[in-house]
């Protein structure tokens, strides 16, 4: 029987990073993956395909140029599913190649098959060829991720009633689409299809979509969704979903409203993929949504069995899963590590995109922390003008007692990239001074930080004490040389 220092179940972001980290520490590591290709949900049905669809749609629809050339500007007047999905296929195969190469170079053994526990240190693997193998592991990482939640009452049929995996093989461009669920996945696809001129109706049981975000950003975002023609059915729940004789989808809400569309995307939740792992054999149990509970070091209640990524729940991002996977491997092999996940950025690739780090206004108010805001619209910065941006804003929240940056919220072009400046400042304990005193490349969207900071600085006059100016003479030769050239 083969024996490893670490066996990872699942080759998504968490599993890959853990296995590579273990090999870098000189350990024997293997990944068991039931899919024929490595990469997990992130590469095959989640992050990468949905972002590639978005990029293809923004290009083909000419969406980014509409600020200048008008809302009727189209790069192509007729867009087919193949136009969109061809780019996805190419991107995915490149991603799989890069990842397989990384695993191979680092000495990670990839075993094809579905793993389940025999006992706390033994896994049975039903290989893709149908044989049963057993392997031994001193440590195990469960990184099996999640799959779409598919309630039995929803008549999924793979063509007109789809979950978020199936939408990636849609073969006919719908004229209208119902999206059930105003979480990240529902919102991303709703706005992507709206950019394709599909009439979208979104049903969400809460009073707002993406309710964990800052409410000012969401007010603005919902306004923009409506402006794109999306109908928001908020505080509404679904009674039935049926298809009629013409294969149209009829969604009846508990309020009595009916929505008739060509296609429906059900995006209301995901469940951990733990049901086939035979967890009791390892002394483990999942919660009602198939998730595992771990401590701060990603250990389950069986100390040498770790879990990371979406299977442990919030925040369920590829970005955080990678870090969790690496940290779990560092902990299991007693390697020094720092958990800096407190300030992770949240990226929502809707149209327009949104990103946040740190606290929201509502959280600070609830906690009784006094703060002031600095806000700027992208149309107020030169780069925004150059790009023709009508939409987009950046907001920073600063503590009034020590001027520390507490939260950053960005909506609009480049939001998911811009957020990292705010993330760095928050993580390093930076204050308003950094933004006021530093020069930013001009013209850039990043300059929005500077303008928003000056806005906050003006508002914070009543809180400013007589602070001696922090003037640092410029003596950097390299900088001088640069400006002389």
Q: In b/e form, how buried is each residue of 65-93, taking b as 16+ CB within 10 angstroms?
A: bbbeeeeeebeeeebeeeebbebbeebbe
Q: Does 374 bind ligand FAD (CB under 6 A)?
A: no
Out of 8, 23, 47, 193, name the contact with ligand FAD by CB under 6 A.
47
User: 329 vs 432, which CB is nearer to ligand FAD?
Assistant: 329
Footprint on residues 341-360 left by ligand FAD (CB under 6 A): 347, 349
Shortest separation between residue 335's beta carbon and ligand FAD, angstroms = 20
User: 13 vs 414, which CB is nearer to ligand FAD?
Assistant: 13
Q: Does 392 bind ligand FAD (CB under 6 A)?
A: no
Out of 100, 128, 316, 427, name the contact with ligand FAD by CB under 6 A.
316
Shortest separation between residue 163's beta carbon and ligand FAD, angstroms = 9
Judged by CB under 6 A, which stretch of 38-46, 169-177, 224-232, 326-334 contacts ligand FAD?
Answer: 38-46
Q: Does 13 bind ligand FAD (CB under 6 A)?
A: yes
Helices 81-105 & 13-24, crossing angle to 10 degrees? 20
Site string for ligand FAD, 122-161 (x = CB under 6 A): ---------------------xxxx---------------
What's the rounded Cα separation, in Å, for the pair 292 and 279?
10
Calculated CA dihedral for residues 469, 472, 474, 475, nearest 10 degrees: 160
Q: Does 318 bind ligand FAD (CB under 6 A)?
A: yes
Q: Does 9 bind ligand FAD (CB under 6 A)?
A: yes
Footprint on residues 64-93 left by ligand FAD (CB under 6 A): none
Q: How far separated are the first and last CA of the chain, in Å rounded?
A: 66
What's the rounded Cα separation, in Å, for the pair 269 and 211?
14
Judged by CB under 6 A, which stretch of 44-52, 233-241, 285-293, 419-427 contacts ligand FAD?
Answer: 44-52
Q: How far is CA 64 from CA 207, 384, 389, 443, in A?
A: 30, 12, 8, 18
Shortest separation between residue 348's beta carbon and ligand FAD, angstroms = 8
Residues paired with 137 in a beta bridge: 4
Footprint on residues 264-283 left by ligand FAD (CB under 6 A): 273, 276-277
User: 35 vs 243, which CB is nearer to ligand FAD?
Assistant: 35
Say whether the peptide bond before residue 274 is cis (omega within 30 degrees of 0).
Answer: no
Contact status, residue 376 vs residue 391, Cβ threshold 8 Å: no
User: 233 vs 291, which CB is nearer to ligand FAD?
Assistant: 291
User: 185 vs 196, which CB is nearer to ligand FAD?
Assistant: 185
Helix, coil or strand: residue 466:
coil
Residue 467 CA to chain centroid, in angstroms? 41
Task: Tell how strand 146-148 and strand 249-253 pair up.
Answer: unpaired
Number of residues that bind ligand FAD (CB under 6 A): 39
User: 32 vs 85, which CB is nearer to ligand FAD?
Assistant: 32
Within 8 A by CB and 6+ apart from 207, the residues are 234, 235
């Amino acid at each position: 029987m083969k024996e490893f220092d670490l066996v990872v179940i699942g080759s998504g972001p968490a599993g890959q990073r853990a296995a590579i980290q273990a090999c870098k520490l000189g350990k024997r590591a293997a990944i068991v993956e039931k899919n024929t290709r490595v990469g997990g949900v992130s590469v095959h049905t989640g992050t990468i395909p949905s972002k590639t669809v978005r990029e293809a749609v923004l290009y083909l629809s000419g969406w980014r140029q509409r600020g200048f050339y008008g809302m009727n500007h189209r790069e192509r007047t007729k867009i087919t599913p193949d136009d969109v999905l061809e780019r996805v296929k190419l991107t995915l195969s490149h991603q799989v190649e890069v990842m397989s190469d990384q695993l191979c170079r680092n000495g990670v053994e990839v075993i094809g098959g579905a793993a389940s526990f025999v006992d706390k240190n033994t896994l049975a693997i039903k290989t893709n060829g149908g044989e049963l193998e057993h392997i031994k592991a001193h440590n195990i990482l469960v990184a099996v991720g999640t799959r779409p939640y598919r309630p039995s009452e929803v008549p999924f049929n793979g063509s007109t009633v789809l979950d978020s995996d199936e939408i990636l093989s849609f073969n006919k461009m719908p004229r209208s689409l119902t999206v059930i669920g105003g979480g990240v996945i529902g919102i991303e696809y709703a706005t992507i299809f709206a950019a394709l001129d599909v009439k979208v109706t979104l049903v969400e049981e809460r009073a707002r979509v993406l309710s964990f975000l800052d409410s000012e950003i969401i007010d603005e975002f919902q306004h923009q969704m409506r402006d794109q023609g999306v109908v928001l059915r908020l505080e509404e729940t679904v009674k039935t979903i049926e298809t009629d004789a013409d294969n149209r989808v009829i969604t009846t809400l508990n309020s009595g409203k009916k929505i008739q569309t060509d296609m429906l995307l059900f995006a209301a939740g995901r469940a951990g993929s733990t049901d086939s792992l035979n967890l009791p054999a390892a002394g483990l149990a999942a919660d009602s949504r198939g998730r595992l509970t771990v401590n701060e070091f990603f250990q389950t209640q069986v100390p040498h069995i770790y879990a990371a990524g979406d299977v442990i729940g919030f925040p369920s991002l590829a970005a955080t899963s990678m870090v969790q996977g690496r940290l779990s491997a560092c902990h299991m092999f007693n390697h020094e590590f720092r958990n800096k996940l407190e300030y992770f950025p949240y990226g929502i690739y809707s149209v327009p995109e949104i990103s946040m780090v740190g606290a929201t206004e509502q959280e600070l108010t609830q906690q009784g922390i006094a703060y002031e805001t600095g806000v700027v619209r992208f149309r107020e910065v030169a780069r925004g003008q150059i790009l023709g941006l009508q939409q987009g804003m950046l907001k920073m929240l600063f503590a009034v007692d020590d001027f520390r940056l507490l939260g950053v919220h960005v909506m609009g072009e480049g939001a998911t990239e811009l957020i990292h400046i705010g993330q760095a400042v928050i993580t390093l304990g930076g204050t308003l001074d950094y933004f006021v005193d530093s020069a930013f490349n001009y013209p850039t969207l990043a300059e929005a930080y500077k303008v928003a900071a000056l806005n906050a600085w003006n508002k914070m006059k009543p809180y400013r004490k007589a602070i001696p100016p922090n003037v640092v003479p410029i003596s950097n030769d390299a900088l001088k040389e640069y400006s002389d050239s």
